[in-house]
Amino acid sequence: MNLPLTLITSLLFFTSAIAETETTKFPCQPPHHSSYPFCDASLSTAHRAQSLVSLLTLPEKIGQLSNTAASVPRLGIPPYEWWSESLHGLADNGPGVSFVGPISSATSFPQVIVSAASFNRTLWREIGSAVAVEGRAMYNGGQAGLTYWAPNINVFRDPRWGRGQETPGEDPKVVSEYGVEFVRGFQEIKKKSKVLNNRFGDDDGDEKLMLSACCKHFTAYDLEKWGNFTRYDFNAVVTDQDMEDTYQPPFESCIRDGKASCLMCSYNAVNGVPACAREDLLQKARVEWGFKGYITSDCDAVATIFEYQGYTNSAEEAVADAIKAGVDINCGTYMVRHTQSAIDKGKVSEEQIDRALLNLFAVQLRLGLFDGNPKEGHYATLGSNDICSSTHRELALEAARQGIVLLKNDHKLLPLKKNHVSSLAIIGPMANNISNMGGTYTGKPCQRKTLFTELLEYVKKTSYASGCSDVACDSATGFGEAVAIAKGADFVIVVAGLDLTQETEDKDRVSLSLPGKQRDLVSSIAAVSKKPVILVLTGGGPVDVTFAKTDPRIGSIIWIGYPGETGGRALAEILFGDFNPGGRLPMTWYPQSFTEVAMSDMHMRADSSRGYPGRTYRFYTGPQVYKFGTGLSYTNFDYKIISAPTRLGLSELVPQSSHKKLLLQKGEDQLRYLQLDDLEVNSCESLRFDVRFSVSNTGEMDGSHVLMLYSRMPQVLSGVPEKQLIGFERVHVRSSEMVDAVFVIDPCKHLSVANDVGKRVIPLGAHVLLLGDLQHSLSLEF
């Protein structure tokens, strides 16, 4: 959420604009400010918000249009900071969270890409809930706000993207479901009484929130700085087909199913129009998806409309375009500085400002900000004891355990047997580094332990050498020490990969290889080690480690990503078999040759006519280092399909009046698909079916396993995916035991695809359901 460098100074303006001395700690404070209608909790949220807006002067209204909203002393309203961060734990990247005070740390969960690798919905929701508890506790302590700008639900489209680590991966379904679970856990929506809902005719808009979550960055945002492009001026050219079935589904789900109370528009333009000026997209969220919350710009994305993209001829026009499109608040000061002038010039009206304020105040009201003293509120008991609790740190540990992925394990090198290991060596610049274990948007962890210090708990005779002075590894001067300790150890662990010097906000990678001389370090150690080396890979983005995958001197490869404050413990448990790994890659690992593909090309589908290989497992046709969903275990699992239909008739879903029209349009022998728009309203639910199967653990170790059900559609229209994930579930199976599982399949959702004009269609003909090596044919007929 870094500001463009030329705009950082604009924040200085606002410091003086709200510098009046304030003694009010919360709105509606008795005895002088508690009698306003907006303080009356028995009224509906809409009624209270309208009352508040009606009492404000125009300058007071404009003062609310920044993330640092101005106070209104005459109404007893203190300033409010909207910008707080909670991507995978509370973080002080934004001004809303501060670790200066009695609370000096918060639980640091694994980076999102690692938690996503668990493919565990329950875990995702529990993380969201735990972070929210700590957020409310810090708010009660005066060190945090109530509105947080997470999760990041952009699809991890290109492996070079510096912020791919913040996302749940490349699959729209996985990203969607992560967003829904995190938001539900984080917001902990509570219904108001039915009496109030009936009285005022309100529903979602009156639901109380524990905290507010924000789905970002809307939309088609996944480039920081590549070539001549930056995120501030990039125009994402996206087809209707890709928009419908890749870029938009996570946001639609986050709003429809997660009921997020905030949406953030991104810096980039989409098909020539800045995202924060795309009225069609922002209103689609409100009108079609039912969004009830506030829309914020990224920082300072309203300014970039004029300053960087040149889309408007003036700052006033940029502000007006954003407000009229549906933006309610600007992160930064651009609206505060230019809205009055925009009104004076007739670019925007006060009524349009009022609309924005109604959305903003409605969210604050749902958070209880105007319900009086927070020390007497619903969450008043939360405090410092609820932060860094043993429960939350255990949850962080469990997330790291479940998200770590075993990629290679030749000859069952792992797990190591404790009583057979007298000495260990751990080598690499990240092996004894605590600063970058969490990835981007990491706050102040409760405890800081490195991979090296955690391994010492298992093997006292563990030696460490960095090999490289840093992750960039520009010099081999440290190789000698690393080789020396490797020669003397029973087993050697080499930690290689990425950190935030290689991938982060405002920084994309140009290479998919290990940085600098890291490969040489790995190979040098493998050449002298007594036994095959264990390679541990850090970082959020994929790396081309083909050399290690094919080298017999490297026996095991483990991806730990950015595992958070408990990551060292989780890795040690997996290495020594105290936990059986079950994570799976939530993104494709591409070879170095993929860097020849322009990062600025937003097309998902492959195009052989121009040598374009496509993107993500759904459409990519080129070579892979590791496939999406790759992940090994210390045990073995077998599947058996118990029941699944072989034929589905779709005629009943189409109104009789439309049958003849469809056949005339297509020709009776050429009807290849049905458009969802042609189906009876609510008819899809009647066509849902179950796929039941059993999972057997045929190995000697208990373990969790991620079941991944794919669909392969008939190629009856252009742009059909190679395959697509339609169901996933993490199950625990004891050794020599079997469990049954079921996926509920909705053909309208799971067996459909967007056509070239962005309309959802169900291909007719032979679909194939894929589960591991099993295949099941299903014919969809009309």
What domains appear along the chain, each with residue ranges and CATH number? 412-610 (3.40.50.1700), 637-780 (2.60.40.10)
- Output the pLDDT for position 665: 54
Q: Which residue has the tokens 């959702």?
A: 749
Tokens matching residue 774: 């099993």
Residue 11: the pLDDT is 42
Closest CA relative to residue 316, chosen from 296, 333, 341: 341
Grade residue 244 by pLDDT with cuts at 50, 70 and 90.
Answer: very high
Q: Which residues contact 176 (CB under 8 A, 6 or more apart)?
A: 153, 249, 250, 252, 253, 254, 257
Looking at residue 194, its pLDDT comes to 43
For 62-80, how does the pLDDT look when each residue is reduced to its tens digit (9 = 90+)?
Answer: 999 999 999 999 999 999 9
pLDDT of residue 205: 66
- Residue 192: predicted pLDDT: 53
pLDDT digits (tens, 9 = 90+) for 19-62: 333 345 899 999 999 999 999 999 999 999 999 999 999 999 99
Which of 247-261, 482-496, 666-680, 720-734 shows the lowest mean pLDDT across its residues?
666-680
| Nearest residue to 553 (alpha-carbon basis) of 576, 533, 581, 538 | 533
Report the percentage of the chain scoring pLDDT > 70. 93
DSSP string, 579-595: S------SS-B--GGGG
pLDDT attached to residue 629: 98
Residue 670 has pLDDT above 70, yes or no: no
Q: What was the pLDDT predicted at 3?
A: 52
3-state DSSP call for residue 137? helix
Q: Answer yes or no: is pLDDT of 204 > 90.
A: no
CB atoms within 10 A of CB 670: 9
Q: What is the pLDDT of residues 605-620, one digit of tens each?
A: 999 999 999 999 999 9
What pLDDT, on the 0 to 100 scale, is given for residue 12?
40
Structure tokens at 317: 């026009």
Torsion of CA 151, 155, 159, 160, to 10 degrees: -60
Q: Are 296 and 64 in contact (CB under 8 A)?
A: no
Q: Is 298 a known active-site residue?
A: yes
Give the pLDDT confidence score for residue 221 in this predicted structure: 98
Q: Tell which residue, 757, 694, 750, 696, has the closest CA to residue 723.
A: 750
pLDDT top residue among 659 and 323: 323
Distance, CA of 22 to CA of 227 (rounded, Å): 48
pLDDT value of position 202: 44
pLDDT of residue 658: 62
Write down the residue that tokens 């169901």 correspond to.
727
Mean pLDDT over 562-582 rounds to 98
Residue 666: pLDDT above 70?
Answer: no
pLDDT at 683: 81
Q: What is the pLDDT of residue 663?
A: 58
Q: Is the pLDDT of residue 10 over 90?
A: no
With vertex at residue 131, the alpha carbon angle to CA 383 and CA 143, rounded to the nearest 5 degrees, is 45
* pLDDT classification of 201: cutoffs 50, 70, 90: very low
pLDDT at 20: 32
- Contacts of 645 by beta carbon, 8 Å cutoff, 6+ apart: 689, 778
Lowest mean pLDDT among 186-195, 395-404, 481-490, 525-534: 186-195
pLDDT (0 to 100) of residue 199: 33
| pLDDT for the residue numbered 197 | 40
Average pLDDT over residues 398-403: 98
Q: What is the pLDDT of residue 13?
A: 38
Binned at pLDDT 50, 70 and 90, residue 191 comes out as low
Beta-bridge partner residues of 399: none
pLDDT at res. 544: 98
pLDDT at 17 over 70: no
266 versus 651: the higher-pLDDT residue is 266
* Residue tagged 């990240």 (tokens): 430
Region 668-693: mean pLDDT is: 83
Q: How confident is the model over 208-221, as pLDDT tens digits?
A: 999 999 999 999 99
Mean pLDDT, the chain, whole residue set: 93
* Active-site hit among 158, 202, 242, 298: 298
pLDDT in tens, 547-568: 999 999 999 999 999 999 999 9
Q: What is the pLDDT of residue 424?
A: 98
Q: Please tell me the predicted confidence (pLDDT) of residue 513.
A: 98
DSSP 780: E
